[in-house]
Amino acid sequence: MIFGILIKRTNIILISFILLLNSFLYADSDLFGYLENRFFLINNPEIRWDNINEKFDVSDYIRLRLKYKASPSKKLTFNLAVDVYSFHGTIKSPVGAYNGAEDSGSNNIKIDLDRAYIDLYFKDFDISIGKQRVAMGVSYIWAPLDIFNRINIFEPKEEKPGTNAFKAYIPIGSSSSFTGVFATENDFSSSKFGFRGQIQILSIDTGITFIRSELTETSIYGLDLRGENFIGWWIEAGYFASPHSNDVKFVLGFDYTFPIRNGLYWLNEFFFDSSGEKDSSNYDYNHILSGDRFTLGQKYLLSMFRYSFSSFFSTSITYISNFSDGSYIINPSIQYEINQNILLSSGFYFPLGNKGEFKKNKQNLFFIWLKINF
């Protein structure tokens, strides 16, 4: 318990103080980040138009993310990232990410110290200590080997929340490496640790992974492969062994860019999870709400097309399906770069098909996101 609290509280506060102090002492430092506003219009198609106040719900939130990096020497780098949120309407937290941010001032304002770590560079290895980004696997969205982060189908490439961890990276030659991670929350009983060896064989990036979750008493034996033979392809698979069950999860994915003018990009991922329910009537949505699970069924497919009309304007359409219950989501969207530092995104999420995981409440979602980098 003492060790976990020190990592989660005392060390993070100490590192934050050191980072701020370094901004005054060292010229080799940088303060940057972004400000974004996310507006949501939620429509319930089951409510009649004459009851428009109940048919539509409006929400938005503003997020300011400040990042700081300082390098007092070539062997040491300090990193800090703080998120400040302001919520308006029914949405009280970013969808699928940053759960547990602490309230400050009111229920609508949340402040989260999301990164606070140091990088140490040695001749033969690198070490990172503190609250940092930790990830395993090679998948685009489903990532069965990445037990350090949650799956967010609304934004697969979101900036994942930080994890209190010790990470070591050892390069071996020009195309091989070894990574070790130890992550803890409150005490050793909730710790997670893992090792990943990576090597390139016949132009195929190959990774072998072992991960242990003490909280769930689960050992994970993983393999991932990534290559390119006319199309890009990847495989990520894991065997999950625990006292309660033994399960298999795997992802098969590929992508290809069609030579149509500026290029039509196509990405697909199929995900199988033997621990999921075959019958949707057995779904327990509390597992989703608590974060114990990120999917409920066994078979999923993601397919996305993206086309760039120019260097600053693009459009995409994404299909995400749960084959186990017949529910799916259609997500058309557009992205417009007003300039190099300002991005405007807009689109819809339509839950369709049978009533199931992706069509539980039948609500359509329209969004407009504005992001300003600085």
Strands (DSSP E) contained in 105-172 are 106-121, 126-132, 163-172
Separation of alpha carbons 1 and 216, rounded Å: 17
H or E element in which residue 52 lies: helix 52-55
Residue 24 confidence (pLDDT): 54
CA 19 to each of CA 65, 122, 323: distance values in angstroms, whole numbers, following the listed order: 16, 21, 48
Residue 16 backbone dihedrals phi, psi, to 5 degrees: -60, -40
Residue 285 confidence (pLDDT): 83
| Residuewise pLDDT in 10s, the chain (374 residues) | 444 444 444 454 555 555 555 555 555 789 999 999 999 998 887 788 878 777 888 999 999 999 999 998 889 999 999 999 998 887 777 754 444 444 444 458 888 899 999 999 999 999 999 999 998 889 999 999 988 887 777 777 778 888 999 999 999 988 899 999 999 877 777 799 999 999 999 899 999 999 999 988 999 999 999 999 889 999 999 999 999 899 999 999 999 999 998 999 999 999 999 999 998 888 888 877 766 788 899 999 999 999 999 999 999 999 999 998 999 999 999 999 999 999 999 999 999 998 888 887 778 999 999 999 99
Separation of alpha carbons 283 and 357, rounded Å: 8
The alpha carbons of the chain give a radius of gyration, in whole angstroms, of 22
The closest alpha carbon to 168, from 132, 140, 204, 199, belongs to 132
Residue 176 confidence (pLDDT): 95
Residue 149 confidence (pLDDT): 81
The pTM is what?
Answer: 0.84
pLDDT digits (tens, 9 = 90+) for 283-337: 888 877 766 788 899 999 999 999 999 999 999 999 999 998 999 999 999 999 9
Q: How many residues can be counted in the chain?
A: 374
- Return left, alpha or beta for 114; rule: phi > 0 is left, psi -120 to 50 is alpha, else beta: alpha
pLDDT digits (tens, 9 = 90+) for 38-72: 999 988 877 888 787 778 889 999 999 999 999 98
pLDDT digits (tens, 9 = 90+) for 200-218: 998 999 999 999 999 889 9
